[in-house]
Amino acid sequence: MPSPIPTADDLIRNGYIRRRRAIGTMMALIMFACAALSVFVTTAIVVILVEESWMFFREVPILDFLTGTMWTPVFTDAQFGVLPLLVSTLQVAFLALLIAIPMGTVMAIYLSEYASTAVRETIKPALELLEAVPTVVYGYFALIVMTPFLQKFIPGLAGINLLVPSIILGIMILPYVVSVSEDAMRAVPNGLREGAYALGMSRWQVAFRVVLPGAMSGVTAAYILGMSRAVGETMVVAIAAGQNPNLTFDPREGAATITAYIVQMSLGDLPRGTLAYSTIFSTGLLLFVITLMFNIAGFYLRKRFREVY
């Protein structure tokens, strides 16, 4: 009978060590493959978007696409100027930021400089719930509840408009803006605060003249990343801002954004291979490039901020 506790020699002889080593190597390879999947996904996104819109950009010069003011891809006299979609997309994102920036900044200052730990631990999960609400529910709320309500106060507000989705979007990205800017503010070293207090500054002076400027690159990153989210948000605008490509600067009117347009075209039954159908990929590519630029800018601002302190 072999001894109950195997010796090192036994382990080598019966192949246990080799087996363990093989399992370790195999798992390391599997793990690497899982991590490398992210690189594959990014590459696949770029390849698919470029490849599928290749046909489109052979027919429509990029300059015409970016500067044209008429977007009528399914008309017999089709026009492919993306400006109407682009303008409403940026308009919605801008209006959403107009709400999210002041509210988010004050909220972040309150959480990082004023609130006690107990208050902060209660408020943060509550704020996160705002982010958790499915976007289609927000869309329903914007169209069926908020718009009829605001029509009583805002003359000329159409039943389908850019304003209400922007307000909802502003509230939606608020938790994100708050959490990124609060992170930045809390990373400001306490020595700066203590020095300022020692000079006789009051709490609000410390918050607005020391902490906020000190955290500025992180806070800016929060704004930019919030903008990126607002640009890419889909269902709220698809439901409440309408699907009519309309070059307007009046947020009381309805106008399709890039995302709403992609949704609208996906709902239709245009066959693959037509020029009109390939627009969902060319507009998608434009959307991807815009959000990528915002994300890269935000990424570097955040990184620079972390390096400073």
Contact flag: residue 126 with other proteins (CB under 8 A) = yes
Q: Which residue has the tokens 């209400």?
A: 164
Is 238 a binding residue for other proteins by CB under 8 A? The answer is yes
**CA 95, CA 49: separation in Å to the nearest integer?**
28
Distance CA 3, CA 246 (A): 84
One residue of 65, 80, 223, 281 binding other proteins per CB under 8 A: 281
What are the backbone dihedrals phi and psi of residue 15, each rounded to the nearest 5 degrees, phi first? 80, 10
Q: Using CB under 8 A, which residues numbered 201 to 230 contact other proteins?
A: 202-205, 207, 225, 228-229
Q: What tokens appear for 169 in the block?
A: 């979007």
Asked whether the beta carbons of 287 and 231 are under 8 A apart, the reply is yes
Contact indicator for 80, 265 with CB cutoff of 8 Å:
no
User: And the tokens for 215?
Assistant: 């955290």
Q: Which of residues 171-190 bind other proteins (CB under 8 A)?
A: 171, 174
Binding marks (x or -) toward other proteins, 85..104, rule CB under 8 A? ------------------x-
- Residues 7-36, interacting with other proteins (CB under 8 A): 20-21, 23-24, 27-28, 30-32, 34-36
Minimum Å gap between C-beta 200 and other proteins is 9
Q: Which of 7, 14, 266, 274 binds other proteins (CB under 8 A)?
A: 266
| Nearest residue (CB) to other proteins, 62 versus 136 | 136
Residues between 41 and 80 that touch other proteins (CB under 8 A): 41-42, 44-45, 48-49, 51-52
Q: CA dist 165 to 51, 103, 120, 211, 227, Å?
A: 32, 17, 29, 33, 14
3-state secondary structure of 71: strand
Interface residue with other proteins among 88, 91, 298, 305 (CB under 8 A) is 298
Q: Does 140 bind other proteins (CB under 8 A)?
A: yes
276 belongs to the binding site for other proteins (CB under 8 A): no
Residue 3 CA from chain centroid, whole number: 62
